[in-house]
Amino acid sequence: MRRRVHLVGIGGAGLSAIARVLHERGEQVTGSDQAVSAYSQALEASGIPVSYGHRAENVAGADLVVASSAVPMQNPEVQAAERSGIPVLRRNAFLGELTAGSKTIAIAGTHGKTTTTGLIAWLLASAGLDPTFIVGGILEDFQTNARAGKGPHFVIEADEYDRAFLALHPSIGVITSVEHDHPDCYPTPADFRQAFEIFASQVSELLLVCLDDPGSAALTSATAGRQTYGLHPEADWRAEEIRANAAGGLDFLVLRRGELLGLARTRLAGVHNVVNSLAALAAAEAAGVSFAEGRRALTEFHGTARRFQEVGEVGGVRVIDDYAHHPTEIRATLAAARQRYPEAEIWAVFQPHTYSRTRALLEGFAASFGDAHHVIVTEVFASRETPDPAVSGRLIVERMMHPDVQFIPGLADAAESVIHRLRPPAVVLTLSAGDANEVGARVLARLQSKAGGMQDGA
């Protein structure tokens, strides 16, 4: 008899992925959320019932309730389940059950984990290993963020928020970077580092760490075999001779412990994605994928939604959306834009994400926009936090030493400012883990409208 699993907060990236895996494994899945999202709509299209608004009756008849980290214990569905004796688990507690019996490959890190997870899932799938996977974004090549495969491997993005990744005991672990983030969960850098030390100690077979990143390289608690990757000359997996290619990405030579394996090619922009590709090739090899198979698959990987995603192009103006919401991510994304579009003026529209992160990383944000010609900072996207009147995007702008930076709180006004000042060739790059991709959509719609009007007039 199938269980009925009800997920509270099913419209988010994390729980929607769990819902899809459970559904494809044959479980009866239902869920609820406050509002419609692209993730919830995709689940409904797959036959998973989703209720909008949280009500006690939604959990009636459930065998298990899984709640998002963002859902408070006072939620009416959580309380109703507890009154009825229905087990209630947080997402992090459920991950251990979800991955049990699989050969888990878990990818953790402050930056790069979504792309690296997607790459590993793609390399294994292309080699015929049919992995189960959960990724924190929509993979362009699969058109989903999760899938239940028939093979032995479970490739999962190991989210450090709320220490969720500590529920995992992977066979293969990848740590891309360890740089302080989520100050609402980890008040100090030492707290953050300690969680990664615990994660590293739970990897049973192979731990891959990025030697370019000081925080990752300094981890000492690994009990499994350890390999390194990156551009560092002492890395076990290393890239050399990095050059731009016609696909908009980069070609590079791959060396493993000094042995030249061959030329690899990625469509993804930015040297940081060369490093992510090295991690994927190394993890895939440990899972049984040869370098030749991995290299072929790497060439065909098209990336993840909201990770340097080209939304459209009109009249020499490209609109790109990226999830970057940490200073290091912003610098890497802007460097990739400069590398791919050297002749274009770069417009960076940044929406700070959460008050706690904005306060903790204020100076880092202010120093992150050197590769942009024009910068607009909007008001903070609160996400799960209560508004803090003492913290604003204005604080970032006041600390910036940039020739053209503006604080424009509203997204509609930010879009209007960009539209009136754009001169092609240009790239409009929205940097946001919230809803500032709306700015790019508005800019693109206006450009398309103007182009259509000119054609009609002609």
Alpha helices in 300-348 (DSSP H): 327-340
Domain identity same for 254 and 117: yes
**Residue range of the domain that includes 26:** 4-90
Last residue of a domain, one of 299, 320, 350: 299
Domain identity same for 186 and 330: no
Q: Report helix, strand or coil for 255.
A: strand
Q: Report helix, strand or coil for 122.
A: helix
Within a domain: 95: no
pLDDT for res 30: 96
User: Any catalytic annotation for residue 450?
Assistant: no
Alpha helices in 310-458 (DSSP H): 327-340, 355-360, 362-366, 393-399, 411-421, 437-457
**pLDDT of residue 190 exceeding 70:** yes
pLDDT for res 453: 63
pLDDT for res 181: 87
Q: Report helix, strand or coil for 253.
A: strand
User: Any catalytic annotation for residue 103?
Assistant: no
pLDDT for res 220: 79
Q: What percent of the chain has pLDDT over 90?
A: 80
**pLDDT of residue 343 exceeding 80:** yes
- CATH code for position 315: 3.90.190.20
pLDDT for res 62: 96
- Which residue is catalytic, options 157, 160, 285, 438? 157
161: nearest Cα among 137, 116, 189, 192? 192
**pLDDT of residue 3 exceeding 60:** yes
The secondary structure of residue 57, as a DSSP letter, is G
Domain identity same for 77 and 108: no
Average pLDDT over every residue of 258-263: 96
Q: What percent of the chain has pLDDT over 70?
A: 98
Domain identity same for 206 and 275: yes
Within a domain: 304: no
User: Any catalytic annotation for residue 160?
Assistant: no
Could you tell me how far CA 163 lies from the centroid of its own chain?
17
**pLDDT of residue 457 exceeding 60:** no
**pLDDT of residue 455 exceeding 60:** no
- Which residue is catalytic, options 113, 115, 329, 358? 113
Torsion angle of the four alpha carbons 135, 139, 143, 144, in this order, in degrees rounded to the nearest 10: 0
Within a domain: 96: no
pLDDT for res 362: 93
Name residues whose C-beta falls within 8 Å of residue 135's C-beta, 6 or more positions apart in sequence: 17, 114, 117, 118, 121, 145, 146, 155, 157, 304
- Which residue is catalytic, options 30, 110, 114, 115? 114
Tell me the average pLDDT of the chain. Answer: 93
Average pLDDT over every residue of 355-379: 94
The angle at the Cα of 87, spanning 84 to 93, to the nearest 5 degrees, equals 155
pLDDT for res 1: 58
pLDDT for res 386: 87
β-bridge mates for residue 134, sequence order: 146, 156
Domain identity same for 315 and 451: yes
Q: Report helix, strand or coil for 195.
A: helix
Angle between helices 91-99 and 13-24 (to 10 degrees): 30
